[in-house]
Structure 1
């Protein structure tokens, strides 16, 4: 009995070898004839394209705020992927420095050597385009223009107030502008009264950045006055011939005569209990001066926030304190208060307010929903402002 088991162990490696050799011997698999050769661009004949050969996308078009890339996409392939490319059947007028590059088999993209000049109109023409299947394309044209000159930021901001007489005007454009173009298109003058023009000198805050200019008035601006900066629609930049096409106007105001207002939080002459009174000024003053200028009759102790710095300037003061319900108070801002421009409050401001009564209320001091009839209990009651 031991011998057969030994023979089986010896035969096992042989059987394994026979199985491995059998796997390498050609079997009865079906033969398939070759249908093509693998090579670049050798996918075989392209499937017939449906639809007419056409430009399916051409960008950009129209007047632009920003300049995206210039590209054209066709409905059929115009080049194979074997490395050979036909000359791009497209031209741009005027022709900037750069080249048309193929993107895949159906698209062209213009790669400029530097950014396209601003304020310039371009026309792109596709002529003589031929797809791989021999279809031809009628001439195709599209046009666009790069951004016209315009103001992108200005200081002072539109309708700014409280400016000093030595204020200057700073303008930033979206493209370079020269001094002659600015002088021809930009003006500064009064926006009220006689609308007199203001003579100014032109300054460059940064000589390397020709988009920025500063208008420096040759004489101090009048106080208590409105001014207007106007950029005419004829403005031109240095890169292209297109004008701005639209004017830009914004106003600003020098500081006004010092005035003050008083109001309650309810915006009327009756203040809600617990609310305060607000003092507002049109020009900043030192906080400590404003506190001394305010008088409340009858006297009320005001809770001044501890974090406030009395030496700082402010145009706002909040009066919060023990204003009693049902009482009438008069708040005064005395004349002589001086603002940061050296002006004083010419007249006293006084306003009377009534603090409303507390709302009617009635409370029963009972908890639970059952009272035993034999039990004697004291029930606390409280009432406020009930008839």
Structure 2
């Protein structure tokens, strides 16, 4: 058993410990700082590789150097050296960040050295990207791509533009470089257009010695810096030229259905079957309607030139020959009308270069199409509901019809 005196001593000892613990001052923890300007990657100058137009340059210090409230700095040379030093303002963003804001845009391709103690950072001012181009990105395919215009907000060095610009020509659609060609600098020239006022934008025209061929994609690439390691900073423009002039399709004319079998276009009249609501079967009546004009419609991917009948007979070869040939222009189509016989297979042939489009481009490839017209369903119609016929006069009746050989 524990004696009464020992228990009393133990109680007094515990009370003394509790009193001393309550009397000891509490140590406050230092709160974290959230408003400190500091680069997460540890860089001391930002940006650390290149400059664009009016980019500011910010210098970070490892400890408090400037005023906590920030403000303008009149003697930045005490903390940092910038060479060359353009016009602008130095300002503290906090005690550890000093920023320079240029008054004018950085001169394209110029070099700027920022020295902070023994550390030195070299920055390169990038070439600006064009504000607009002609033709524009995503424009319709060009029939004549002989030049490209680049418009900048301010003048740039034409020699640097020539040095940093490349043009590649690929076969359409331009996805693969296979079959492409990189144009040499002698294949084009770059000229600056005159400006009316100093504040106006500056346009540079790239004129090709020879027009870009049809069915091509011209890829203009402009490196924004000639510094090694900055090749990823590139402006790209893609322009398409129109596909070569070609005949795309032959079809039957209005009133005829198209049916292709064994490479032969078979033109069947819509009037060869009874209309809905009529009696079905072999004896179904087919109401009379004039036979549709037999014609072949030839479609192109561009508007063909206007041709006369002599030119048509030279360019459009139809075998066997037909009578009463006529050619009608309708936009990007030519309608070939003639006395085509029933159940006769014809072949239309157009040689390469035999036709030109409205821009003077020759047909890029030959075209041929075999076709035939089915026989019309025979039908007759009276021209008059009543009349007088002479007994011994001409034995003629006022009828008109279709589908009968004469």
* TM > 0.5 fold call: no
Q: TM-score if structure 1 supplies the norm length?
A: 0.42
